[in-house]
Amino acid sequence: MINARQLAYRSMSSLIVVALLLVLPINVLAQDKGGGDLRAAVQNPISSLISLPFKFSFDYGAQNGDGTILNIQPVYPITKGDWNYVNRVILPIADVDGAITSPNNPSPLGADSASGLGDTNYSVFLSPVEYDKVIWGVGPSLNLPTASDDQLGSGKWSAGITGVALTQLKWGSVGILGRQLWSFAGDDDRSNVSQLLVEPFLNYNLPNGWFLITDLVMTSNWKASSGQRWTVPLGGGVGRVYKIGNQAVNNRVEVYYNVERPDAAPDWSWTFTFQFLFPKTG
pLDDT digits (tens, 9 = 90+) for 218-239: 999 999 998 899 999 999 999 9
Q: Does residue 24 surpass a pLDDT of 80?
A: no
Question: Other CB atoms closer than 10 Å to residue 61's CB: what's the count?
Answer: 15
CB contact set of 26 (below 8 Å; sequence gap of 6+): none
Which residues is 251 bridged to in the sheet? Answer: 240, 274
For residue 105, which of 69, 138, 75 has the smallest C-alpha distance?
A: 69
Pairing of strands 194-205, 172-186: antiparallel
Q: Does residue 4 surpass a pLDDT of 60?
A: no
Specify the DSSP element, H or E, that contains 61. strand 50-62
**Amino acid in the structure at residue 198:** V
The domain that contains 240 carries what CATH number?
A: 2.40.160.40
Q: Tell me what pLDDT residue 197 has.
A: 98
Taking CA atoms, 120 is separated from 29, 114, 144, 263, 273, in Å, by 37, 17, 5, 24, 18
Q: Tell me what pLDDT residue 107 has.
A: 86
Q: Does residue 79 surpass a pLDDT of 60?
A: yes
Q: Tell me what pLDDT residue 126 has.
A: 98
Q: In total, how many domains does the chain have?
A: 1
For residue 70, which of 155, 123, 13 has the smallest C-alpha distance?
A: 13
**Amino acid in the structure at residue 50:** I
Pairing of strands 75-80, 83-96: antiparallel
Q: Tell me what pLDDT residue 116 has.
A: 95
Q: Does residue 249 surpass a pLDDT of 70?
A: yes
Are 107 and 160 in contact by the 8 Å Cβ rule? The answer is no
Q: Which domain holds residue 230?
A: 4-278
